[in-house]
Amino acid sequence: MPNENIVSVDKAKQELEQHAEWLKFHWEDNDDNSVDDAAVDKPWWVFINAKTKTNLKTAVRFTLDSVDDFVIVGLNLLGQDGVTKVRDYIIELLGSMYDCVMEKVKLPMWLRPVSSVIRKSVLEIILPLLLDYFLYKYTSGVFKR
């Protein structure tokens, strides 16, 4: 695993942004993000949008996969040391991914008043920690690219 930058930071940001757009397109266009009609009768805590039949579990899995993809793309473009330079940019892209995902997964009425708190918690606490964790696991050799 090389430690020197393979491409410039600006070029890496462009590539990461293109990857984010591809992921958003894949999320919006993919029928795998929906659940079948039999699965609509779920417990109250599984948030399902009736129009798209997208549930929270699918959205979380997509978000985790997106974090993983961004780490892999960042490591491939910038190497181990360079990816930390674009960490904040990756979190910004994950914020736009979160907004895209949450358009399809509507929160129930009783959670809408705290949706901004949920978003802030996800983007400022959970996703940065998850990004750091994935980055550590890939750079230490525990995860394989």
Q: With bands split at pLDDT 50, 70 and 90, how would you rate the model's confidence at 91?
A: very high
3 is a domain residue? no
1 is a domain residue? no
2 is a domain residue? no
Backbone angles phi, psi at 55, to 5 degrees: -105, 170
> Quick check: helix, strand or coil at residue 90?
helix
pTM (global) more than 0.85: no
What's the number of domains the chain is made of? 1
91 is a domain residue? yes
| pLDDT tens per residue, range 105-138 | 777 778 888 989 999 999 999 999 999 999 888 8
Provide the domain limits for residue 82. Answer: 9-139
User: Average pLDDT, stretch 18-32?
Assistant: 80
Total residues found in the chain within this entry: 145
Angle (CA) 137-143-145 rounded to 5° is 115
37 is a domain residue? yes
67 is a domain residue? yes
- Paired residues of 48 in beta bridges: 55
More confident residue, 110 or 48: 110
